[in-house]
Homo-oligomer: A and B are copies of this chain.
């Protein structure tokens, strides 16, 4: 068992996240000194506990790097019109540089419709469909932070992408689709699988790079992984003991995969650090 584990690189995100936060801290200090203190606004319209946990962790990370983080909690009964109006007001506020809309949303509220009210310049989590379209068209835009974190980890571990076969499992607008776009932009051959895919293992077992973003604990086992493949696990599924589990059965693929991100400690910390980096990038463009 020990020798098996030794063959799979643990693709940790903590070192990269630390480097990114150091960069952000320095940039935030410079911006603040220049009179543009960077500010991230997080809009919440749910009583969901895991959302609250995530927002607290973003706020904590922002504060530590010198970014102001305001949380606008509209409550779980907020009408969509009020959420949209809030996003528009924040878009117009010159002191706000990054805007995030949290999920889940109240019944009747449609994420992409509402996110269209976030100014593309401040859309640090790439939620506005305009950002997705601009990414696809090769124009400048913020990618959703989770998708950007997948690419940042692959680059940090110097995983070659051009001409390689990347398989993305999951086709959400926030992770799967933008990750596929980013991989395509990097000249990978990209396959997108999802719940209608008839033989998942047949596709995933061909991947040089496998990105899994589905939200089903242990979906990916040994039969799904090509020996030596780099596996990026985006899943964050709550466990009974209050922890987090990924979409990949880590024990099953250890010794088989060339590399695997741990959950927690893989994509997650990099995602938060990139949200903050996007915010200082946005602020830097506004700074006189």
Proximity string of chain A (160-173) to chain B, C-beta cutoff 8 Å, 1 when within and 0 when not: 00111100000101
A191 with B194: CB separation less than 8 A: no
A241 shortest CB reach to chain B, Å: 35
Residue A137 CB within 8 A of the other chain = yes
A239 shortest CB reach to chain B, Å: 30
Proximity string of chain A (164-196) to chain B, C-beta cutoff 8 Å, 1 when within and 0 when not: 110000010100010010001001111111101
Q: Which of A120-142 contact B (CB under 8 A)?
A: 128-139
Of chain B, the residue at the smallest CB distance from A180 is B192
State the CA gap A180–B134 with chains docked (Å): 16
| Interface size of A as a range | 35 or more
B189 with A193: CB separation less than 8 A: yes
State the CA gap A111–B123 with chains docked (Å): 23
Of chain B, the residue at the smallest CB distance from A189 is B197
Residues of B within 8 A of A180 (CB): 192
Residue A23 CB within 8 A of the other chain = no
State the CA gap A165–B192 with chains docked (Å): 10
State the CA gap A135–B136 with chains docked (Å): 11
Of chain B, the residue at the smallest CB distance from A176 is B184
Extra contacts, 15 of them, besides A129-B134, A131-B133, A187-B194 (Cβ < 8 A), are: A112-B134, A112-B137, A129-B136, A129-B139, A130-B133, A132-B132, A132-B133, A133-B136, A136-B177, A138-B173, A163-B196, A184-B194, A189-B193, A189-B198, A189-B203
Q: List the 5 closest pairs (A to B, CB-CB), nearest first.
A: A133-B133, A129-B133, A112-B137, A132-B133, A187-B196
